[in-house]
Structure 1
């Protein structure tokens, strides 16, 4: 249930998609591929960012007084995690691995063979890691979706390794 990023990178890394369910960068499938709600979601995201900024400032002040405590999930967040389908942008992980600037393509090693993809297109892609609240065990650990949704009906499945060439 892990995905390795290797090849012509400064820092080869191993991703564990099972922990992404707690990551704030995750996006819901509907959020990504149903644009009718995009403008309201952007406004909500901006409001959320402002709330988080105020909360961060408050917590930094409190942290000086009291040690930090793990934030518990609300009931709504718990229900969402159990039922929703989630995707994770791959760009932050690629940025962390620091591919060589000369890299133009990447190979996705899957159960069905290798798939070559443009490195820039890969950077703008999303990884599906949870379907209906469950990790992808049978054809996972992740599926690759292009940001434009062009492969929405036929994503690249069973990705085990990403090799930058």
Structure 2
């Protein structure tokens, strides 16, 4: 099975996606938390600003100090990566390919046929790339899930390409 998925069609840039590296992406979403309602959306810029501001304030007040080692947090994160189910939002990748102005739909090509979504629905689509810490090797490399959970038991799978029309 091919792990690389192209985004092609009515786009300014044909790009390819490699889902095997998304496990290291900070934009990944823990789908177990997402579909049980425990997930909190975090604005990356806002989080970065808060952390930087707190660090700057501490250095001004206390002076520069070396941070303590965070071995337990690193161990927890490693365990979570090896046991959780993860996904990522599809919209950001489609927008990076820059769909042309006349493009209106996303066609998901699979080994079983095609599935069509209007481009306006990109906000509602997630790409699942791992299940319980393992890549989706049998019917993957990714699955398409709707954020409302309506197709969680019957996702779009066996995906070979994303085509913009």
Residue in 2 aligned with 1:6?
A: 8
Residue in 1 aligned with 2:29?
A: 27
Q: TM-score, normalised by structure 1?
A: 0.79
Map residues 20-59 of structure 1 onto 2, 5 A cutoff.
20-35=22-37, 37-38=38-39, 41-42=40-41, 45=42, 52-56=48-52
Aligned residues: 147
> In 1, Cα distance between the equivalents of 2:113 and 2:102?
25
Larger % of helix: which? 1
1:142 aligns with 2:147: no
Structure 2, unmatched stretches of 5+, are 57-70
> In 2, Cα distance between the equivalents of 1:145 and 1:51?
26
> In 1, Cα distance between the equivalents of 2:154 and 2:109?
16
Structure 1, unmatched stretches of 5+, are 60-71
* Structure 1 vs Structure 2 CA RMSD: 2.4
Map residues 54-93 of structure 1 onto 2, 5 A cutoff.
54-56=50-52, 74-93=74-93
> In 2, Cα distance between the equivalents of 1:14 and 1:50?
29
Q: TM-score, normalised by structure 2?
A: 0.79
> In 1, Cα distance between the equivalents of 2:97 and 2:52?
27
Instruction: Answer yes or no: is the 8 Å Cα contact 1:29–1:86 preserved in 2.
Output: yes
Runs of 4+ in 1 over 3 A off after TM superposition: 48-52, 54-59
Residue in 1 aligned with 2:68?
A: none
Specify the structure having the higher radius of gyration (Cα). 2
